[in-house]
Structure 1
């Protein structure tokens, strides 16, 4: 019989942290609105209550936790990918694995943006919304061209790429390094043992850092709840809920359907095992920061092999932007309707194509969707200033988009692993755990 006083699971503690963060954040915002910013003194030093907690404790706590996860991304991806590729009996298999992963990622992005634009054209979130004549100017950050993205895949300086956290160059260098180890004979075998040990140590660090996840999530959500601008959501509620609903439908219908059709696996098992990943993705709004937990979950709970998870998941965190594509599709139609611009069939097809290709060069960091949206708007001659209409509520939608992105990453990794014979179905179906329990009993 299980001990009723057993320690709460990490998932439960993360969700408790989220709920507590929401309640405390809203309380601080409401108190600040009703009573103004109250001051208090400690050792003759005057502190602002709202600023002390929101911009002080919550801001610092959230940032420290995000930095702790980001600290692990580069060493985890590099070491695990080196281990995975060096252990492949047939290195040529990597090309097939990569081609399948990229094809599936591009397919789901295409479906996402098409699905999103269809819904926006049907429900017309911008109908009746008048864009103000004094819309503030939105400064467009330059996005890299597709040609430049392809060139930058091969690092001129791998150490610099690691320092800057550029995933695709790191993946390319790690693959070359791992393949070279497999051909290096005894020297490669000795080095392989070192990297395998290093990989185990890094995974232990991931476990240690994740024990602090409930506190990090609490700080992140508390700050968001204390600073969110509700009037922005109410002003463009049709757009907000259009994006939110399509994001949810894409995650709970498109991915499970794709998994079931391609592998026959029960998608409900996958979704239930991604609860921790989804909770942290929502609070961090960063696919890259969530990557260590995504990889650990894929290996330990879904049964995805190291060679597949260490390649497919970092690649997905870089190029799989289904959530962003959904936002781009709906936002483009919304801005066109707000400015009373009719989009032709060619324009709509251009949006689908541009949004799909632009996702390849996107980095898994908060806010990248707005940069890519500027690229899409320019392609169909819509005013980039229209981004200012939706920027106020983008943070909340960005968090939801990240959940969709990491769910897609894990789904594609599971599909690739299953079709390549690299999925441990005992782990996926919890058979190994059931056997362990029966032996104990």
Structure 2
């Protein structure tokens, strides 16, 4: 069975098992099953993936930047990908606002008697700009500061390019190290179906179906918005700029999409995303290793759409009318906030606080939706990752750095099983 099918099977079985266990969640044997089987299995997979993220971003960006050959090409590719990322993010916020405005999920909703939320202070624009420059790159690697790692890796790659032949030996060593990390990723992905089962079973067992009902309309709008955003914008990008059938694109992107949905982390999915871009789309590593780590940090279409829907939803239930200019501020602030949103579960809630503050909506209102954040976090992360692949496909095609394979190569450790494309 292909890896993506095994992952999907793990997801479905995990949901069903979670629903069954939810009814007897307080039983001693269920607590033991959770503590000694489900939780360790999911955490082992997540920790292994997270273990590889920082070295993968560092090595792939250095090799990718140096592999482009000159600073001019790096600047050209960087300008293209950032422009596409920002445009798609802004359109995602607008779509979220339109859906929430037309369908009005907050009207008639009864605010809970008490809700609390302790907001973390959002960084200022100046602090965000300063924080991308690492004072100690080794500390950035230890803490997993993705923006700082990206900046250092790009600068180091440019320095290797400037050294020319003298850097050839070091570059070859880094390429081998990058290959070793990719091999580790192939091994770790063998655990993915079982980890997806464990993660979904735990989430459904803890939340149950009941938690979704009071905020059902809000959840549905976020999911529908993400699907619509992918169906029209990503299909347009891959069809027009990438010259790929949208159906074929989503079929080949499915492994990364499923892992993103279950882990709710763009960073944790990054190793899978890079493997899919190279093996299933034929994107040269010099492009994918530059655009995808960057996208996992700055391209957050799903998160931006969620922020637009959430802001209008909370304004509606609190009876706060928003003007056109305030909605424009939401678009701008959500687009900028997506740049600083860490690719880890739940990070979008922190940046939503900044968006709410920008238009005068009480930040404490986030407490109303915090209970179902994990449910919407999964679909918005899936859209974040799908957007990274769609935009990378367009840039790779424009640079002539894409050799679209006729078959889909399964990303398993050992065997290579292909199906007709």
Equivalent residue number for residue 74 of structure 1? 54
Preserved CA contact (<8 Å) 1:58 1:223: yes
Work out whether 1:58 is the aligned partner of 2:51: no
Determine whether 1:83 maps to 2:83: no
In the alignment, is the contact (CA less than 8 A) between 1:135 and 1:386 conserved in 2?
no
2:380 is matched with 401
- After superposition, the C-alpha distances for 1:50-88 in whole angstroms (9 at most, x for unaligned) are 211224421221111111001111111111222122222
Q: More displaced, 215-224 or 146-155? A: 146-155
More off after superposition, 14-23 vs 214-223: 14-23
**Partner Cα separation in structure 2 for residue 275 and residue 77 of structure 1:** 22
Is 1:415 aligned to residue 394 of structure 2? yes
**Structure 2 alignment gaps of length 5 or more:** 411-415
For 1:24, which of 17, 35, 41 is the aligned residue?
Answer: 17
For 1:228 and 1:413, the matched residues in 2 are separated by 35
Q: CA RMSD, aligned part only?
A: 1.9
Shift of 1:229: 4.1
Q: 1:15 is matched with which residue?
A: 8
Distance 1:224 1:371 in 2: 21
Selected match of 1:121 from 98, 101, 104 = 101
Structure 2 length-normalised TM: 0.94
**d(CA) in 1 for partners of 2:306, 2:76:** 31
Alignment correspondent of 1:100: 80
Q: Give 1:43's aligned residue.
A: none
Contact 1:140 1:374 in 2 (8 A): yes
CA distance in 2, matches of 1:88, 1:124: 48
Q: Equivalent residue for 1:250? A: 229
Instruction: Show the counterpart of 2:29.
Output: 49
Offset at residue 255 of structure 1 (A)? 0.7
Q: Please say if residues 277 and 290 of structure 1, whose CA atoms lie closer than 8 Å, have aligned partners that are also in contact.
A: yes
User: Does residue 202 in structure 1 map to residue 169 in structure 2?
Assistant: no
Gaps of 5+ in 1: 1-7, 39-47
Secondary structure, aligned partner of 1:69: helix
SS in structure 2 of the partner of residue 31 of structure 1 = coil
Kept in 1: contact 2:279–2:409 (CA 8 A) = no
The alpha carbon displacement at 1:129 in A equals 1.3
**Of 371, 379, 387, which residue of structure 2 is paired with 1:392?**
371
Alignment correspondent of 1:3? none
Mapped to 2, the partners of 1:103 and 1:228 lie a distance apart of: 39
Q: 3-state SS of the aligned residue for 1:92?
A: helix
Name the residue aligned to 2:413.
none
Q: CA deviation at 1:158?
A: 0.5
- Whether 1:372 aligns to 2:372 is no
Mapped to 2, the partners of 1:418 and 1:432 lie a distance apart of 20
The answer to whether the 8 A contact 2:279-2:408 is kept is no
CA–CA separation in structure 2 for the residues paired with 1:294 and 1:153? 23
Q: Is the 8 A contact 1:70 1:288 kept in 2?
A: yes
Structure number with larger C-alpha Rg = 1
CA contact (8 A) 1:54 1:226 kept: no
Q: How many residues align?
A: 412
Q: Determine if contact 1:85/1:179 at 8 Å carries over to the other structure.
A: yes
Deviation, 1:31, is: 2.9
Question: Could you list the per-position Cα deviations for residues 261-302 of structure 1 after superposition, in whole angstroms to 9, with x for gaps in the alignment?
Answer: 223322222110111111111110000000000001101111
Partner of 1:156: 135
Partner of 1:5: none
Distance 1:209 1:202 in 2: 11
Of 281, 291, 308, 1:302 maps to 281
Q: How does 1:308-319 map to 2 (within 5 A)?
A: 308-319=287-298
* More displaced stretch, 346-355 vs 85-94: 85-94
CA-to-aligned-CA distance 1:304-331 (integer Å, 9 cap, x gap) = 1111111111111111111111111111
Note if contact 1:54-1:222 (Cα within 8 Å) is conserved in structure 2.
no
Give the Å deviation of 1:187: 3.3
Q: Is the 8 A contact 2:334 2:355 kept in 1?
A: yes
